[in-house]
Amino acid sequence: MLRAGVVAVQGDVSEHAAAIRRAGAAHGKDVDVVEIRQSGTVPECDVLLLPGGESTAISRLLSREGIDVEIRDHVAAGNPVLATCAGLIVAASDANDDRVDTLDLVDATVDRNAFGRQVDSFEAPLPVAGFDEPFPAVFIRAPVIDEVGDGVEMLATWEGDPVAIRDGPVIGTAFHPELTADSRIHDLAFFEDVAVEA
Ligand code: GLN
């Protein structure tokens, strides 16, 4: 049994819950999904998901509820996190916006709404390191990853900009893997050492 906590203060929570359940089922693993709205739940979770949504709202609620400290401790202990879109903005070391109190889970600075300034939303077949086929990446008012530290692995770029990174136990994507039926990003974040059952 894997206990997966979906940070549920705001954003596309149910989509992430469904995606992690689907990925677990494909690996023959039961996933117990818990929604995180207050402090005390994160320490009971094996893995965490930080959904897309509105990063200013998410960051404000995380610090108000004292969940921010617990998420930092979760990562410091080496436990996995998947942070998508607004989740990545919150997980960054800086978001280029004072209204977002970033958690500094990944050594990367992001620019909120960088794609959004040009085009609101789009879907693209995205080559991802280690994937045989491109990933159907849905971008919705997506951030751009500006700068990454030395220890950060680049998993995907789109038109020259990084859009998926891994820093230790944390994977961050500018797009929304939870909005497609393709579970490979969730697999990579949480199940990559588990053989897929035939
Ligand atoms: N641009 C949004 C923000 O800054 C994120 C958009 C999303 O998660 N789809 O919070």
Question: What is the CATH classification number for the domain harbouring 31?
Answer: 3.40.50.880
Question: In Å, what is the CA distance from 99 to each residue of 26, 59, 112, 170?
Answer: 39, 8, 11, 23
pTM above the 0.90 mark? yes
Decide if 82 contacts 188 (C-beta within 8 A). no
Residue 196 lies in a domain: no
Residue 197 lies in a domain: no
Using DSSP, state whether 164 is helix, strand or coil. Answer: strand
pLDDT digits (tens, 9 = 90+) for 83-130: 999 999 999 999 999 999 999 999 999 998 776 665 688 999 999 999
What is the best residue among 59, 85, 101 to mutate for testing ligand 1's pocket, by most ligand atoms within 8 Å of CB? 85
C-alpha dihedral, 14 to 19 to 20 to 22, nearest 10°: 120
Domain holding 123, by residue range, is 2-190
Nearest to 117 by CA among 161, 179, 176, 178: 161
Domains of the chain: total: 1
**166 annotated to a ligand binding site:** no
Residue 195 lies in a domain: no
Using DSSP, state whether 56 is helix, strand or coil. Answer: helix
Residue 76 lies in a domain: yes
